[in-house]
Structure 1
Amino acid sequence: MLKGVLIDWGGVLTTGLSDSIAEWIVAERLDAAHYRDVMRDLIAHAYEGSANGENMIHALERGEISGFDFERRLAAQLITMDGVQPVAEGLLNRMFAGFRRVEPMYAMLREARAAGMRTCLLSNSWANEYPREDWEDFFDEIVISGEIGMRKPEPRIFEHALGKIGLAGQECVFVDDIEANIVAARRLGIVGVHHRDPEPTIAELETLLGVPLR
């Protein structure tokens, strides 16, 4: 019987990262194709594994480098349509400014808790500010990668989150929009739900948990 829900934040409890990035690219007049080339390599390296060691995303998500250090290094690799680098300071906040809260997903968490499920936010942070004002209504525990020095898809961060809510992997479901994180969770016996859209995710969770979530 499933007793807990582990859930990502960006792209799951918010609108998609790609939409926010698209808004930012237009606002900053970035060379979009060049940006995608840069990020494709960084993200693939960070989440798909590589024999070439780690990159600055690993360090940022664990809190090993500051947000400004990451912003400075990333800005140095980008170019605007005017042929200059974007402003480094505040770059991450501008990237994520387009995130919007997805109310049906929060309502799902409220219903899950009302049904007796333990809930835990499990998020990789990019030194960004989280809107935590009412989080006590939705989460029993909060695990933010940069605050604890671990990141998804490392097994230890899932084990840490399970320990926080006092459940075994087989008793929990994990919702994330990044496939590599889902694969890592499943290796620990956690049921994985690969999120793409709120409606099918909530429907799948209703089936798995055996309770209405709307």
Structure 2
Amino acid sequence: MLYIFDLGNVIVDIDFRRVLGAWSDFSRIPLAELQKSFVMGETFHRHERGEISDEEFASQLCHEMSLPLSYEQFTTGWQAIFVALRPEVIDIMNRLREQGHRVVVLSNTNRLHTTYWPEQYPEIQSAADRIWLSQDMGMRKPEPGIYQKVLKEEGFSAEQTLFFDDNADNINGAEACGITSILVTDNRTIPDWFARQ
């Protein structure tokens, strides 16, 4: 079997409020205002596909949100998204590999974040056979091509694959490709699912 795990709020707890909180501290703009102006729109998606650089992303997002931040302040806030590893999921990934299954990570992410989490959480790299990142693939979930590429490169059919993600759109995208998918709603979803198998 091929097991595909998303990264944020699946293997690692993330919280966008921490990002906005840091930017609010730096800019002195009230958090409520930033929460209204922050949108995961086209700039965000282009960054995740690797179509724009980190610097362009920071500049465009600051412009869209009227945020007077230096690049350093922007990136410090951007990395504040990471909260903590979910060790119970790492244990499951390691166990699946010991049982002979293929275990990969498929994440919508960006270069800025990959300068941070691999060093911060080396356990992720150790627990996965391969890490697939949207910015390297030029595609992002839930685009069908991203799932099809992973299946093709990994050499598994959709029927031989199980996918865990915390985003309903990504789940629907994978299911449209024939992949059995589990929506992760909290840190008990994955351990409880495996306990029932």
Aligned partner letter, 1:178: N
Q: Which runs of 5+ in 2 are unaligned?
A: none
Distance 1:135 1:164, change over 3 A: farther
Aligned partner letter, 1:109: M
Query: RMSD over aligned Cα, in angstroms?
Result: 2.2
1:71 lines up with 2:54 in the alignment: no
1:85 lines up with 2:85 in the alignment: no
1:180 lines up with 2:169 in the alignment: yes
| Count of matched residue pairs | 190
Instruction: Name the structure 1 match of 2:133.
Output: 144
Q: Is the 8 A contact 1:119 1:165 kept in 2?
A: no
List per-residue Cα deviations over 1:8-39 (Å, max 9, x = no partner): 11222111323533542554344322222222
Instruction: Name the structure 1 match of 2:190.
Output: 201
Distance 1:103 1:142, change over 3 A: same
Q: TM-score, normalised on structure 1?
A: 0.78
Aligned with residue 108 of structure 1, among 92, 95, 103: 92
Distance 1:179 1:200, change over 3 A: same
Q: Which runs of 5+ in 1 are unaligned?
A: 47-54
1:120 lines up with 2:107 in the alignment: no
Q: Is the 8 A contact 2:49 2:134 kept in 1?
A: yes
More strand by share: 2
Q: TM-score, normalised on structure 2?
A: 0.84
Instruction: Name the structure 2 match of 1:62.
Output: 49
**Helix, strand or coil at the partner of 1:10:** coil
1:94 lines up with 2:77 in the alignment: yes
Aligned partner letter, 1:151: R
**Helix, strand or coil at the partner of 1:143:** strand
Aligned partner letter, 2:189: P
User: What is the deviation of 1:183?
Assistant: 0.7
Q: Is the 8 A contact 1:6 1:120 kept in 2?
A: yes
Question: In the aligned structure 2, how far is the partner of 1:91 from the partner of 1:22?
Answer: 10
Question: In the aligned structure 2, how far is the partner of 1:96 from the partner of 1:20?
Answer: 9
Q: Is the 8 A contact 1:119 1:139 kept in 2?
A: yes
Percent of residue pairs identical: 24
List per-residue Cα deviations over 1:80-123 (Å, max 9, x = no partner): xxxx6222345245223241222111111111111222111101
Aligned with residue 160 of structure 2, among 165, 171, 176: 171
**Helix, strand or coil at the partner of 2:85:** coil
Q: Is the 8 A contact 2:23 2:74 kept in 1?
A: no
User: What is the deviation of 1:175?
Assistant: 1.1
Distance 1:172 1:25, change over 3 A: same
**Helix, strand or coil at the partner of 2:185:** coil
In the TM superposition, 1:38-53 aligns within 5 A as: 38-39=37-38, 42-43=39-40, 46=41
Distance 1:200 1:148, change over 3 A: closer
Instruction: Name the structure 2 match of 1:51.
Output: none
**Helix, strand or coil at the partner of 1:119:** strand
